[in-house]
Amino acid sequence: MKTKRLLMTAVLAAACWSGMYAQQTQELPDRIKMGQERVKVRRDISLPQIDGYDLLKCDFHIHTVFSDGIVWPSLRVNEAWEEGLDAIALSDHVEGQPAREGMKKGDLDLAFKNAEDEALRRGIILIKGAEISRSMPPGHLNALFLNDVDALQKDDVVEALREAHRQGAYIFWNHPGWNVKEVKWHDMHERLWKEGLLNGIEVFNEFEWYPKALEWAKEKKLTLMANTDVHDVIERLYDRTQVSHRPLTLVLAKEHTAAAIKEALFGGRTLIWFYDTLIGKEDYLKKFFEGAVRVQPSHYATEASAYVTVTNTCDVPFRLEAALEVKGYPSFIQLPARASVVVSVPKNGTNPVAYKVTNLLTAYEQCIEVSLF
Contacts of 77 (CB under 8 A, 6+ apart): 88, 115, 118, 119, 122, 124, 126
Res. 5 pLDDT band, cuts 50 70 90: low
Q: What is the mean pLDDT of residues 207-222?
A: 98
Q: How far apart are CA 107 and CA 143, in angstroms?
A: 17
Res. 231 pLDDT band, cuts 50 70 90: very high
Q: What is the mean pLDDT of residues 141-149?
A: 98
Say how far residue 189 (Cα) sits from the centre of its chain: 27
pLDDT of residue 7: 47
Q: How many other C-beta atoms lie within 10 A of the C-beta of residue 357?
A: 22
Q: How far apart are CA 235 and CA 70, in angstroms?
A: 13
Res. 3 pLDDT band, cuts 50 70 90: low
Q: What is the pLDDT of residues 246-255, one digit of tens each?
A: 999 999 999 9
* pLDDT above 90 for 64: yes
* pLDDT above 70 for 17: no
* pLDDT above 50 for 222: yes
- Among candidate residues 141, 157, 73, 54, the one with its CA nearest the CA of residue 111: 73
Res. 6 pLDDT band, cuts 50 70 90: very low
Instruction: Kindly state the percentage of the chain with pLDDT values over 90.
Output: 86
* pLDDT above 70 for 164: yes
- Whole-structure pTM value: 0.90
Q: How far apart are CA 89 and CA 115, in angstroms?
A: 11
* pLDDT above 60 for 211: yes
DSSP alpha helix (H) spans, 155-308:
157-166, 187-194, 211-220, 234-237, 258-266, 282-292
Buried b (16+ CB within 10 A) or exposed e, 281-310: beebbbbbbebbbeeeeeeeeeeebbebeb
Higher-confidence position of 360 and 33:
360
Q: What is the mean pLDDT of residues 151-160?
A: 97
* pLDDT above 60 for 144: yes
Q: How far apart are CA 273 and CA 55, in angstroms?
A: 11
pLDDT of residue 15: 52
Q: What is the mean pLDDT of residues 29-34?
A: 90
Higher-confidence position of 51 and 22:
51
CB 157 within 8 A of CB 132: yes
Query: Mind spelling out the 3-state secondary structure of 82-111?
Result: HCCCCEEEECCECCCCCCCCCCCCCCCCHH
Residue 236 identity: R
* pLDDT above 50 for 11: no
* pLDDT above 70 for 46: yes
Beta-bridge mates of residue 342: 309
Higher-confidence position of 281 and 6:
281
pLDDT of residue 349: 84
Q: Please tell me the least confidently modeled range out of 2-6, 35-39, 60-64, 355-359.
A: 2-6
* pLDDT above 70 for 14: no
Q: What is the pLDDT of residues 275-310, one digit of tens each?
A: 999 999 999 999 999 999 999 999 999 999 999 999
Q: Strand 200-205 and strand 223-227: pairing? A: parallel
Res. 42 pLDDT band, cuts 50 70 90: very high
pLDDT of residue 301: 96
